[in-house]
Amino acid sequence: MATVRELLDVGIARLRDTGTDTARLDTELLLAHAVGTDRTAVIAHTDALVGDGPAARFMTFVERRAKGEPVAYIRGIKEFHGLAFGVDARALIPRPETERLVELTELETVRALVGAPRPAGAPKLRVIDVGAGSGAVAVTLAVLLRRRGMLDEVALTASDVSEEALQLARENAVAHAVGDRVTFVAADLLPGTETEPWDVVVANLPYVRSDAVPDLPVAASFEPVIALDGGSDGLAVIGRLVDQLVVGLAHDGAAFIEIGWDQEEELRALVAERLPGWSIEIERDLGGLPRVAILRRGS
């Protein structure tokens, strides 16, 4: 039997040969997954022996990673905002940048709930996650609002055009005990706007330019193209959502939309053209890059 250190050395060398920038981290995560423990235990017990079965699984994982498959898909899990989400090829892997989108949306929801007294029997605040994918945004919002004791005052919906992605989102909602607190709807962007507008809209839609998709890191080739390709300018899907906000967003509501780091000026121009009189703010991520657009009707 090989030791943890020996297997790590083999895995790191293999991934470095393929040009993987995160060879050590990836190898540690994959070995931990193969033996059924966490990365901390692997690092702390490098002299421990690893059975032949787990060692073989580990080498299979390393080869999958060497071919470009994301570690998150191999492990079947991705951490997001302190929560663990099941992930697979049905949906995009949650990115750290999207945590900023969640933080801003939660803040807006809380402000709306505490900003003015809500009389008994008042309708719940209608919040929708558009393009829900794995459900990371909607489920995290539900968990955060539950911690604040505010979830009963919110009607939270998650929509996606992909039935497969919605099923993954449902699975993640159940895993975090909010499966009965989020309504999942198969829809092309905003559903039900003809009957009642939404108070808070949050969206992480595809925004990569079509001609840039082939140049993305090889790991992205394992993810659904529909979740990445935003059309020739990267704003095709976002633009359709912007059009729907005219009737889909409540008069005093707000929409939070994740964008590419280089799309601020183009989006400002698009909003000025299609939503004259509306305001647009751009919030930056931890790297200081434009990341979240906040749209509201003009006063």
List pLDDT tens digits, range 20-32.
999 999 999 999 9
Q: Would you state the pLDDT for residue 193?
A: 62
Q: Would you state the pLDDT for residue 108?
A: 93
Percent of the chain residues topping a pLDDT of 70? 97
The beta-carbon contacts of 165-169 under 8 Å, at least 24 apart in sequence, are: 165/90, 165/91, 165/132, 165/133, 165/134, 165/224, 165/227, 166/132, 167/90, 168/86, 168/87, 168/88, 168/90, 168/91, 168/133, 168/134, 168/135, 169/91, 169/132, 169/133, 169/134, 169/135, 169/138, 169/139
Report helix angle 136-147 to 163-175, nearest 10.
30
Greater model confidence, 115 or 97: 97
pLDDT digits 0-9 by tens, 251-273: 999 999 999 999 999 999 999 99
**Position 197 confidence tier, pLDDT thresholds 50, 70, 90:** very high
Distance in angstroms (rounded) separating the CA atoms of residues 237 and 44: 46
Answer whether residue 194 shows pLDDT above 90: no
Q: Would you state the pLDDT for residue 122?
A: 78
**Position 299 confidence tier, pLDDT thresholds 50, 70, 90:** low
Q: In a 3-state reduction of DSSP, which class is residue 232?
A: coil
Instruction: Give me the mean pLDDT over the 34-40 stretch.
Output: 95
Where does CATH 1.10.8.10 sit in the chain? 2-67
Where does CATH 3.40.50.150 sit in the chain? 89-296
Closest CA to 2 of 63, 46, 32: 46
Quick one: how far is CA 176 from the chain centroid? 16
* Residue for token pair 């299979």: 60
**Position 123 confidence tier, pLDDT thresholds 50, 70, 90:** confident
- Average model confidence (pLDDT) across the chain: 94
User: On the CB side of 156, how many CA atoms lie within 13 Å of its CA?
Assistant: 29
**Position 182 confidence tier, pLDDT thresholds 50, 70, 90:** very high
pLDDT digits 0-9 by tens, 205-216: 999 999 999 999
Q: Would you state the pLDDT for residue 121?
A: 73
Instruction: Give me the mean pLDDT over the 64-72 stretch.
Output: 97
Pairing of strands 83-86, 290-296: unpaired
User: On the CB side of 184, how many CA atoms lie within 13 Å of its CA?
Assistant: 26
Percent of the chain residues topping a pLDDT of 90? 92
Query: How many CB atoms are located within 10 Å of the residue 106 CB?
Result: 20
Domain 2-67 belongs in CATH node 3.10.180.10: no
Answer whether residue 111 shows pLDDT above 80: yes
Q: Would you state the pLDDT for residue 175?
A: 97
Contact partners, residue 269, CB within 8 Å, separation at least 6: none
Query: How many CB atoms are located within 10 Å of the residue 13 CB?
Result: 12
Task: Please check whether residue 42 is in contact with residue 7, taking contact to mean a CB–CB distance below 8 angstroms.
Answer: no
Answer whether residue 118 shows pLDDT above 90: no
Distance in angstroms (rounded) separating the CA atoms of residues 45 and 22: 21
41-50, 182-191, 192-201: which range is least confident on average?
192-201
- 89-296 fold: Rossmann fold (3.40.50)
Instruction: Give me the mean pLDDT over the 170-188 stretch.
Output: 97
